[in-house]
Each structure stands twice: as structure tokens, then as C-alpha cells.
Amino acid sequence: MADEDEDKSSKTEEPSERKLTKAREQGNVPKSREVNNFFVLLAILIAIVSTLHWAWMRLLNLFGGTFSELGFKRASNPSEIGASMMFMSQEMFFILAPTFVLLLVFAYFGGFVQNGFLWSFEPLKPKLSKISITKGFGRLFSIKSFAEFLKSLVKMVILGALIYFVLIIHMEEIILLTGKSVISMARTVEIILIRIILAVLAIAALLAIADFLFQKSQYIRDQRMSRKELKDEYKESEGDPHIKGRQKQIRLDRARARMMQEIPNADVVVTNPTHYAVALRYDKAKEQAPRIVAMGVDNIALRIREIANENDVPLYEDPPLARRLYADAELGEEIPLEMYEAVAKVVAFIYGIKKKAS
């Protein structure tokens, strides 16, 4: 128990979207029974308003006609009695079917309003923790269970008082029911029942809103994560930052090695002379402008100059041009159009060297 408390105390971070999505896929979502109760009551109210009068009339005709018919039957003819009972069962089914359909639809709608469309078989899978006697007793006698009991008790007292208050208002009508016809009695009972359900529905709506907000806040609190869980999730989804950094460094090293291999094929290296170095290659037959094959600053610039010297690639000192090329041009691409005029001197320098060499 101490370990569980310590584990909960370390979960101080809000749950990530990934954890909430995973919990939803497993059918673990915030649920309020009060919201479902509200929609069930609403379904009952709609059923009473729309079908109760029709159901009363059909029931009166059914029982009146069936029992009067059975009165003329001889008890020694069980087949006819059985047929009559079967007919009554079918009629009862058709009378009650609309109410049952409404209850099923509104019960599902109560869940849909809370969490949208949700389809998961995960909650139906058997889990040993659910049949653990120790954990079962723990849940039964937990503070949460006691709070639920108190909430149900308070709710029953409020609803009981509300129903009693409505009945008191209609007490005179209830007392006079015995002197009315069956149809008048049914109509009076229907009116009183509708008013009771409307009163209960108003309270149920307030309870549903309050309980849904409470259940959602509890759910978010239960889904909280520790810093370690957040880091582990990030590593799992995005990759270990150290590994990613290492992989990035490997890619940079490989790209740099390929760049250094291109320097012997360059025609000239424009230098700062110490901080910047940009190697250019120009094939007049294939390219419209010189192409950058290597570039770097400080230590990399030094290495570029060393390789250029080792392979007799001429160095051209032009600090402003070297800085512009490094800042505005792209490795492997031709120089930008706006630099053509500045690089023209370099091209002339290259051709002058080649002419002397020839």
C-alpha cells in the first residue's frame, strides 16, 4: 500500500494525448452513471407522454376481452386457455416493446454524449485483478466506495422528498381516484406520474452535469504520469534523444567525409583567409555557374585548405566573398545569381592559372 501511495504521489504531470488515446482504445474513459440515469428517465418520460394512453387502452381491451372470453371457456379445455395466454403474452410484448427500444437507445446515447462513439472489447477480457479477493475487498471498503454510498444515500433522500412533495400536492386527487372510472383513473395517474418524472428529471440533470465534471476530473487525475513515464513515452515515440543525437552526428560526419572527397576535384578555394573556406568547381560545358562542393569555418575551413594544398587546388583570398558564399549559398548547388559578378573575378583567376599551366 505504501508503494502504491508513493507511486501515486510521483504522478504529478498531466497525461499525454498518447496515453489518453491508448486508454480510450482499451475502453478506459470517464463515465458518469448519473448521465445514463438522466437519459433513462428522459426515455421513460417520452414513453409515458407518447405511448402510455395508447398502452392503457390496449391493456384494458386485452385483459377485459381475454378474461371475459376465458370465463365462457371450460376449465377442462387447457389448449384454448394456453392459446389465450400466448395471445396475451404477444400483446404485452407489442405494448412494452416501444418503451424497451427507447430505453436501449437513450441508454446508449448517454454513453455517446459523454465519450462519443466507442468500440472496444478490452473491458470484456478476463483479468485476474478483477477476481482478486484481496483487491475486491479493498474496492468494497475503500474511501471511494464509501463516498459513492453517501452520494447514493443523499440522492435517494432528495428524490424521496421530491416525490413526497409532488404526491402531497396531488393528495386530494389521489384520494378521489377510487370514485373515478378506470379511464379517468388512468388519466389522473398519468398526469401525476409525468409531473413526478419532470421534477426528478430536473434534479437528475443537475446531478448528471455535476457528476460528469467530477468523474472527468477524477479520470484525468488517475491518468496522471510521472516524469519518468513522460520521458519513457517520449523515447518510445520519438526515439532516445542521445541516440538521435548520435545518429545525427554520424550523418554529419558522413556528409563531411563526402564533402572532403570532392575538394581535390575543385577548381579553386575562396578563403577568408583563416576563418572561412568555400571550394568551387566550374564545368563550363555542363554548368551555367560555379558549383559549391565544400564549405566550412574554423577547423573545417583549415582542413579544406590543407586538402586543397595537398591536391594543388589554388586558394583565392577574398574575405567578403567567402563570408557571403558561406552565408547565402547552398552546398552542392550553383552559386546564386546575385553573386555572379563577384565570382566572375574568381573564374577569371581560375582561367588565368589554367592558361599559365598550359
The predicted-structure confidence for 276-310, as pLDDT tens digits, reads as follows 888 888 777 777 778 888 888 888 888 888 888 88
The pLDDT of residue 314 is above 80: yes
Query: Hey, where are the domains in the chain?
Result: 2-125+170-235, 261-357
Beta carbons within 10 angstroms of residue 156's beta carbon: 10
* Mean pLDDT of the 53-66 span: 64
What is the pLDDT, as a whole number, of residue 334? 81
For the chain, the distance separating the N- and C-terminal CA atoms, rounded to the nearest angstrom, is 89
Rounded distance between C-alpha atoms, residue 143 and residue 320, angstroms: 76
* Mean pLDDT of the 250-260 span: 82
What is the pLDDT, as a whole number, of residue 196? 87
What is the pLDDT, as a whole number, of residue 75? 46
Q: Report the chain's mean pLDDT, rounded to a whole number.
A: 76
* Mean pLDDT of the 311-337 span: 83
The pLDDT of residue 59 is above 70: no
Percent of the chain with pLDDT over 90: 0
| Positive or negative: CA dihedral 15, 18, 21, 25 | negative
Q: Tell me which fold the domain 261-357 belongs to.
A: name from scop (3.40.1690)
What is the pLDDT, as a whole number, of residue 77? 57
What is the pLDDT, as a whole number, of residue 272? 81
Rounded distance between C-alpha atoms, residue 82 and residue 59, angstroms: 19
pLDDT band at 78 (very low <50, low <70, confident <90, very high): low
Query: Which residue type does 156 have?
Result: M
Query: Which residue type does 144 have?
Result: K
pLDDT band at 54 (very low <50, low <70, confident <90, very high): confident
**270 strand-pairing partners:** 278, 316
pLDDT tens string 89-109: 777 777 777 888 888 888 888
Let me know: does 293 contact 259? Beta carbons within 8 Å: yes
The pLDDT of residue 260 is above 50: yes
Rounded distance between C-alpha atoms, residue 318 and residue 280, angstroms: 13
Taking each helix axis from N to C terminus, what angle separates 340-357 and 319-328, rounded to the nearest 10 degrees?
120
More confident residue, 34 or 94: 34
Cα 97 to Cα 39, 91, 193, 261, 326: the distances in Å are: 18, 10, 20, 83, 81
Q: What three-state secondary structure class fits 97? A: helix
pLDDT band at 70 (very low <50, low <70, confident <90, very high): very low
What is the pLDDT, as a whole number, of residue 189? 81
Q: How do beta strands 268-271 and 276-281 pair? A: antiparallel
Q: How do beta strands 315-317 and 268-271 pair? A: parallel
Rounded distance between C-alpha atoms, residue 42 and residue 152, angstroms: 20
Beta carbons within 10 angstroms of residue 254's beta carbon: 10
The pLDDT of residue 267 is above 70: yes
Q: What is the C-alpha R_g of the chain? A: 42
Helices (H) and strands (E) in the chain, counts: 13, 4
The pLDDT of residue 84 is above 70: no
Cα 264 to Cα 165, 292, 317, 337: the distances in Å are: 100, 13, 18, 25
What is the pLDDT, as a whole number, of residue 2? 42
pLDDT band at 83 (very low <50, low <70, confident <90, very high): low
